[in-house]
Chain A
């Protein structure tokens, strides 16, 4: 069952610009995670934000969580070509069988 849905599906920006990706979910959550995936490779964990947190930073990454709107955003500041990847949010499932559900991802292209 799909819980998180990222928006936009694809994003293309110039190097140095900021990139913002959004994730919406349907039911209440405990935590929300963001992952990055370089083309056809494994996912890398970026950041975890708890349901009682509103904002979290890690280097050039800033994640916000709005539980009233059931949404989260990932901001990458001063983007680099190396940031080109797909970005996924993952959170609790609304199905008892699946502990963690990933969205379909946002494909980010950073043009040098």
Chain B
């Protein structure tokens, strides 16, 4: 078990609604990354936050946004939910930017279902 926690565990929303997912990073880590994992696929990078600023974004529209707080915890916000947003959302923390040099410590994920 890593020290990364996520809430809620499961969430059901309807199309057009907005959702906020939360992540507490492992103690001592200054970077939080968010990933979307569709069923049967690998995690896809959404964006990462380093010292409270967005530092790199994958191929996701602006309705996906985030925040990182001074204690390095983070939120992922998704507006105008679409059916295709149904997925497992994973956050990962690391000391330093997420890249192939740094081990990522993942939380258990939030399962989002959009009806």
Q: Which residue numbers of A lie inside 8 Å of B, CB to CB? A: 1, 4, 29-33, 35, 40-45, 48, 88, 90-93, 97-105
Contacts and interface: CB of A to CB of B under 8 A. Distances in A.
B103 A48 contact: yes
A100 B103 contact: no
A90 B100 contact: yes
A103 B42 contact: yes
Interface of B, secondary structure class, is loop
Contacts of A4: 42
A97 B56 contact: yes
B97 A99 contact: yes
Given A97-B59, A102-B43, A103-B42, A43 B90 contact: yes
Interface of A, secondary structure class, is loop
Nearest to A99: B99
Contacts of A103: 42
Given A42-B109, A43-B43, A92-B99, A100 B104 contact: yes
Contact of B98 (A43, A88, A100, A104): A100
B105 interface: yes
Contacts of B45: 93, 98-101
Interface string B68-111: 00000000000000000000101010000111110111111101
A32 B42 contact: no
Given A99-B48, A99-B56, A102-B43, A91 B109 contact: no
